[in-house]
Chain A
Amino acid sequence: MPTFAVSPGLNPVLQTVLAAGLVGIIVAVLAWPLGTWLARVFLDERHWRVERAVYRAAGVDPDTEQRWTTYAVSVVAFGAVSVVGLWLLIVVQGWLPWSFDRSQTWHGAVNTAISFTTNTNWQSYAGEAGAGHSLQLLGLTVQNFLSAATGLAVAIAVVRAFARAGVDRIGNFWVDLTRSSIRVLLPISVVAAVLLILGGVVQNLASPTEIVTLSGEAQTIQGGPVASQEAIKLLGTNGGGFFNANSAHPYENPTPWTNLLEIVLVLLIPFALTRTYGLMVGDRRQGRLVAAVMATLFGAAALLTAWAEASAATAPTGSMEGKEQRFGIAWSVLFSTSTTATSTGAVNSLHESYSPLGGGLLLFNMMMGEVSPGGIGTGLYGILVMAVIAVFIAGLMVGRTPELLGKTIGRREITYAALASILMPALVLTGTAISLVLPQARAALLADGPHGLSEMLYAFSSAGNNNGSAFAGLSADQPWLNLSMGVVMFVARFGIIVLTLALAGSLVTQRRRPVTAGTMPTHTLTFGFLLVGIVLLLAGLTFFPSLALGPLAEALS
């Protein structure tokens, strides 16, 4: 199949530039109205009838707003209950219809339950072997929606903290969760699923079919409700594939067209949220700057990865190892950059097979804390935390107590922001270090030397950033890795959420200081450079030694 939209004869880097341009235009065109819609959804005073029914059923008063503490407790409690519920569902899936005797170990189930609840969607099981249709539909797809909605809700709560002044309420989690699901994720998923079905993605409840191929060998043809899960898998930056091969599987992502659609779905809401942010704080320039910073980091990573892949092999197509012919370098790189930079973690190519530098860049996308543009909701609040730190470090240089959008960054704010920004590196580094010491964890590595280190580092970066993509190679379905990564996923997700909400709680009570010529502007090119610099610097400083022993050592040997 020819590579889509760009001439196959073209240099892969140039192809990537053109492809990225195309994706950029489509995302920009769609994210614009979506951002406006999101703002309207969360500013709306009225409830839809179906939402009222949900609130009544759940016993929630939708018109009472919460302080940050209550909001945080709601998020964590909801997450904890979801983990337990999902775990039970996985354990009992054998009794459910269409389970085809698929099962997971108890610790694998713990990992899966946490993974899908935290929007990580790391899969230590193979989709075809670990999850029947019922579990996929009732458990995994449901969590795909709810975990994404949770991220969106938290981001909106944080934006409210900047938009409001002198109050202590940051919204109602249950309302934000419900609206995110019903007004945003569901409608777009339906449209996306239909488009995916039209593009050739399967959608049925078929049992696996045994066939005999032309060469006389037996092959199992899988079926299932793929398109419906695929849509939210990408839209909600989840990434957990129906099949083990994820979006490289032709039933999940059959054509270049669906590949483009999937990339757009991944990037859509994270970028749209920047506009929502600008609208809600009443200064659209702020949103534009955040979008520009995200796009810059994304674009640079994509092009560098494309360059790394193109120069990794002498063939004019560049290194095609682990990549699908129907996507080529440009569309593989764009997909992998999109999913590692957004906490999606879906894959349409084998990240392990990327050149050391290319794989290292995918790893670095995660290590930046998923802010380019980051997962649904998580990307926005992640970069706002970074902005708080950037404002604090450099803002002093204008001779005033640092402030962001008129809110002073004082002792409490910087404490929460700093802790939120180091929690992920702390978990990733500790997890990787301990696992490299433990023999049973080291046994899970496929490669040795720097590549093996990259496998482990990638796994924990993926867990610590709730990304979920795998470097493959690592046989993660074992008690230590299942459980330790489960802990990392849970603590990273909810720890950062609680700290970020605490930051929001502190900001929302502040009165807004008026903007004067003495205020450091946070919508200018200078601040853009500063924010990019701080993101790169923090990630670089914490991870440079480990990157040096993994991807860099491999690349430079």
Chain B
Amino acid sequence: MNTARNTPMTTVTGVADHIPDKYAHPAPKRSSLVRTAWDNLPQALVKLDPRHLVRQPVIFVVWVGSILTTGLSVVDPSLFPIAVAVWLWATLIFANLAEAIAEGRGKAQAASLRQTRVDTVARRLRPDGDTEQVSGQALQLGDRVVVEAGEVIPGDGDVVEGVATVDESAITGESAPVIRESGGDRSAVTGGTTVLSDRIVVQITSKPGETFVDRMIALVEGASRQKTPNEIALSILLTVLTIVFLLAVMALQPMAAYSGQRLSLVVLVALLVCLIPTTIGALLSAIGIAGMDRLVQRNVLAMSGRAVEAAGDVSTLLLDKTGTITFGNRRAADVMPVTGTDRGELLRAAYLSSLADETPEGRSIVDFALAEGTSAVVGAGAEVPSAPEGTPAEVNSATDLLRAGAQFVPFTAQTRMSGVDLPDGTRIRKGAGSAVAAWVHDEAGHMAHDVDGAVDTISRAGGTPLVVAAQAPGMPPRQLGVIFLKDIVKPGMRERFEQLRAMGIRTVMITGDNPLTAAAIAAEAGVDDFLAEATPEDKMRLIKAEQTGGRLVAMAGDGTNDAPALAQADVGVAMNTGTSAAKEAGNMVDLDSDPTKLIDIVGIGKQLLITRGALTTFSIANDVAKYFAIIPAMFVGIFPGLATLNVMGLSSPKSAMLSAVIFNALIIVALIPLSLKGVGYRPLSATAMLRRNLLVYGLGGLIAPFIGIKLIDLLVSLLPGLA
């Protein structure tokens, strides 16, 4: 089963189809569940060790019961005690199997990760500048190593010198190489990845045995798994229930004795095992492991189970605008000429000035102008300020223009403009409104009165205004108009935010844009709130304010300056492309570096909690039917009238009790797939979700065992001696 595609989350998102195949982890293809179960059977048997079981009180009680009944069936080797003993052991093995399968899935992943951890030879830089060969395992914090093309990076670290392309497919499954360079937000490298080109110096930031890959292995193997707060609380409730059922069963013997019939120990153990919440007790840890596993399938590493649970509780989501809500690049969506300028003239000027502009914005202007009918043929429109002699007939690229003698003016932080000087001396400039205005003013040009209005209109609509001005030779420059650069909201985002809202999650868009632009995009994307001109401090303040109000906050980030906010957030997802500081600060790492995945992570967290709740409810509701099977069977000998309670019409007292025990064991197996896959989950309001799940798992839990026990009884009653 290829769970990477089949996880129920695929149905969650509505736009999950955007998740490309590259998300599939390099782990070996998943084998069928039956096969996995078989493979993990030895592990399940190993787990029968009481030292392991004692950590799960519910299962431990079953273990004690199994020992007792086994002993009794040795003393009295008749069919009933033997059958009960066998099925109690089966119950235990099934319980262990659930956990073993869940862990086994991770083990396969860990094995493939381990291959990346082959011992590497590192070239450590000595203070004198020479290098020495040491084992990768011997590297200490702060060591600097040189890695060249074709070599494996020996440990986690930051690039402190140079730039290189790195193949990170061993970790991320993404085959396209990434660029890693010193300084900035793309300096982190992971041990086990391979440098494809160039030479870098890496400063090691992790101790041997504590590298990212080591942690990943430990995580997917479940070795470092600790019970999450919610799991602990649930275990406590289950333990307390077990205690009260133990008391109820112990109190039953004197009552039965008073009533004139001592009960056999086998019968009491059978009743106890059926009553205590074995189903959820058996599946509890499998559910937790599978939850983590579902994240791993989506290439997200949660550093703790606590974080996964917290994801389900998140009520505020901070999403960066760029790359998450909108496509990373702004695109030209319109042009607005000033009075006295023809639209075509403006388009033409915009086209020419952007030909050499290799930024996505620049290219989008070229595309837009062409789409709007600007001809590449010079002079066709004749609206260009001038179509001088010597200009080639067709200007398809910057090269054509250069060949004609034009000169490009690149963008600089000082001028905040770029443009082109045509061979005839015509100068075209485009840039931020104030920068262009300053240029026109300095050149004693003509200030168009309606530029400001257009700039304002575009800002208000969520766009970025780019003013175009031109100066014909010997004339004062004048503004031609404004290009409307628009942030394009990714398709489907509005629907996703609506789903989130229905689940009670508020989305806040974080952007460096001015409030006007931010408000427009926020409205278009349908987010609940936005934080404009956001600094890292602003983010931090926002997170703290939300938390003070009792809300749990999730955010994604990659830069070093995101680190404090990532650490403060309840769920902080660091991008794998980000800095080590960010990865250290967050409690999850997204190997695909896709901030949109935050939404999926919330869904996985919720699904984990729902699965736990659903199986608990189901498990407890099951007890009603088991009572109706066992109690009349126990006492029908002294009170024949109690046969009325045998509503299932079970064939004999012994087959009734045995059927309940068998059902109790088999239901664990039946629910293993559900506990691994997680309960089907759609974004619904809590009210709707509660109603639905109560109906399915509450009412279903009441009814299912009546049918199941009856069916088992039909089979069991065929056994001689039990009919």
A3 to B698, CA, bound (A): 43
Q: Which of B605-646 contact A (CB under 8 A)?
A: 605-607, 609-610, 612-614, 616-617, 620-621, 623-624, 627, 631-632, 634-635, 638-642, 644-645
- B240 proximity list for chain A (CB < 8 A): 415, 418-419, 422
A541 to B616, CA, bound (A): 15
B residues near A54, Cβ cutoff 8 Å = none
Q: Is the CB of B255 within 8 A of A549?
A: yes
Q: Hey, which chain B residues are within 8 Å of A529, CB to CB?
A: 694
CB pair A546 B255 closer than 8 Å: yes
Residues of B within 8 A of A244 (CB): none
Query: Please, how many angstroms separate the alpha-carbon atoms of A517 and B232 in the complex?
Result: 26
Q: B313: which A residues are within 8 A, CB to CB?
A: 400-401
> When the two chains form the complex, which single residue of A396, A422, A425, A530 contacts B609, counting CB atoms closer than 8 Å?
A396
Near A by CB (< 8 A), chain B positions 639-663 give 639-642, 644-645
Separation of A548 and B312 alpha carbons in the complex (Å): 43
Q: Which residue of B lies closest to A417 (CB)?
A: B237
Do B251 and A537 touch across chains, with their CB atoms under 8 A apart? no
Contact status A553-B698, CB under 8 Å: no
User: Contacts A432-B251, A545-B248, A549-B255; is A393 near B550 (CB within 8 Å)?
Assistant: no
A548-B635 contact, Cβ under 8 Å, with A393-B613, A422-B240, A556-B645: yes
One digit per residue, 1 when the CB lies within 8 angstroms of any chain B CB and 0 when it does not, for chain A 510-522 equals 0111101111110
| Residue pair A425, B244 in contact (C-beta under 8 Å) | yes
CA A425 – CA B241 in complex, angstroms?
11
The smallest C-beta distance from A286 to any residue of chain B, in angstroms, reads: 15
Q: How far is the CB of A415 from the nearest CB of chain B, in Å?
A: 5
Residues of B in contact (CB 8 Å), total 78
The answer to whether residues A429 and B248 also contact, given A396-B609, A399-B610, A521-B687 and a CB cut-off of 8 A, is yes
Shortest distance from the beta carbon of A398 to any chain B beta carbon, whole Å: 4
* Chain A nearest Cβ from B284, distance in angstroms: 12
Given known contacts A406-B550, A432-B255, A545-B631, is B247 in contact with A517 (CB within 8 Å)?
A: no
Q: How far is the CA of A528 from the CA of B315 in the complex (A)?
A: 25
B236 interface residue per 8 A CB criterion: yes
When each residue 693-718 of chain B gets 1 if its CB lies under 8 Å from chain A and 0 otherwise, what string results? 11001100000000000000000000
Taking CB atoms, residues of chain A closer than 8 Å to B502 are 517
Q: Is A92 positioned at the interface, with any CB of B under 8 Å from its CB?
A: no
A542 vs B641: C-alpha distance in the bound complex, in angstroms? 22
Q: Does B504 contact A (CB under 8 A)?
A: yes
Check if B315 sits within 8 Å of A397, measured CB to CB: no
Q: Which of A143-151, A199-207, A433-441 contacts B (4 or more CB under 8 A)?
A: A433-441
- Complex Cα distance, B147 from A347, in Å, reads 90
Residues of B533-561 contacting chain A, CB below 8 A: 548-551
Which residues from chain A contact B237 at a C-beta distance below 8 Å? 389, 392-393, 414, 418
List chain B residues, Cβ under 8 A from A556: 639, 641-642, 644-645
Residues of B within 8 A of A414 (CB): 233-234, 236-237
Contacts of A6 in B (CB 8 A): none
State A547–B687 Cα separation when bound (angstroms): 36
Near A by CB (< 8 A), chain B positions 644-694 give 644-645, 681, 685-687, 689-691, 693-694
In contact, A541 and B245 (Cβ under 8 angstroms): yes
Q: Is A395 an interface residue (CB 8 A)?
A: yes
Across the two chains, which residue of chain B brings its CB closest to A425? B244
Provide the main secondary structure of the chain B interface.
Answer: helix
**Complex: chain A residue closest to B691, CB-CB:** A526
Report the Cα distance A398→B692, complex, angstroms.
Answer: 10
Q: Is the interface of A mostly helix, strand, loop or mixed?
A: helix
Most interface-central of B233, B252, B641, B689 (chain A CB within 10 A) = B233
Question: Which one of B114-122, B124-132, B256-264, B472-480 contacts A?
Answer: B256-264
With A397-B690, A526-B687: A442-B258 Cβ-Cβ less than 8 Å: yes
Task: Give the CA-CA distance A392 to B248 in the complex, in Å.
Answer: 23
Contact B624 A540 (CB under 8 A): yes
The residue in chain A whose Cβ has the minimal distance to the Cβ of B252 is A545
A384 to B694, CA, bound (A): 20
- Judging by beta carbons under 8 Å apart, are B685 and A397 in contact? no
Contact B610 A526 (CB under 8 A): no
Q: Which residue of the partner chain, among A389, A401, A546, contacts B230 with CB atoms under 8 Å?
A: A401
Q: Which residues of chain B come closer than 8 Å to A530, judged between CB atoms?
A: 690, 694, 698
Against B, the Cβ 8 Å flags (1 = close, 0 = not) of A26-37 are 000000000000
Write out the residue numbers on chain B whose beta carbons fall within 8 Å of the beta carbon of A459. Answer: none
A524 at the interface (CB under 8 A from B): yes
The interface residues of chain A lying within 8 Å CB-to-CB of B645 are 548, 552, 556
CB contact under 8 A between A541 and B623, given known A397-B617, A397-B697, A553-B635: yes
Contact A397 B248 (CB under 8 A): no
**For the complex, is B254 an interface residue (Cβ under 8 Å from A)?**
yes
- Roughly how many angstroms separate A434 CA and B259 CA in the complex, as a whole number? 14
B309 within 8 A of A: yes
Minimum distance in angstroms from B642 CB to a CB of chain A = 6
| B243 touches A (CB below 8 Å) | yes
Considering the chains assembled together, what is the distance between the CA atoms of A517 and B689 in angstroms?
11
**Contact A514 B609, CB 8 Å, known A399-B681, A520-B690, A548-B635:** no
Q: B432 near A: Cβ within 8 Å? A: no
**Do the beta carbons of B639 and A433 come within 8 Å of each other?**
no
A436-B698 contact in complex given A410-B229, A410-B233, C-beta closer than 8 Å: no
Is A397 touching B610 in the complex (CB atoms < 8 A)?
yes
* A514 CA / B621 CA spacing, docked (Å): 31
- Cβ of A409 under 8 Å from chain B: yes
Q: Which residues of A contact B275 (CB under 8 A)?
A: 541
Q: Is A394 an interface residue (CB 8 A)?
A: yes
Assess the A397–B252 pair: CB atoms within 8 A: no
- Residue of B249, B501, B613 most packed against chain A (CB within 10 A): B613
Kindly state whether residue A557 has any CB partner on chain B within 8 Å: yes
CB of B506 within 8 A of CB of A541, answer no
Contact (Cβ within 8 A) B251 A430: yes
Q: List 5 A-B contacts (CB under 8 A).
A: A432-B251, A432-B255, A548-B632, A549-B256, A553-B259
Q: A400-B313, A453-B258 are in contact. List 7 more A-B contacts (CB 8 A).
A: A392-B233, A396-B616, A401-B313, A541-B275, A548-B642, A553-B635, A557-B641
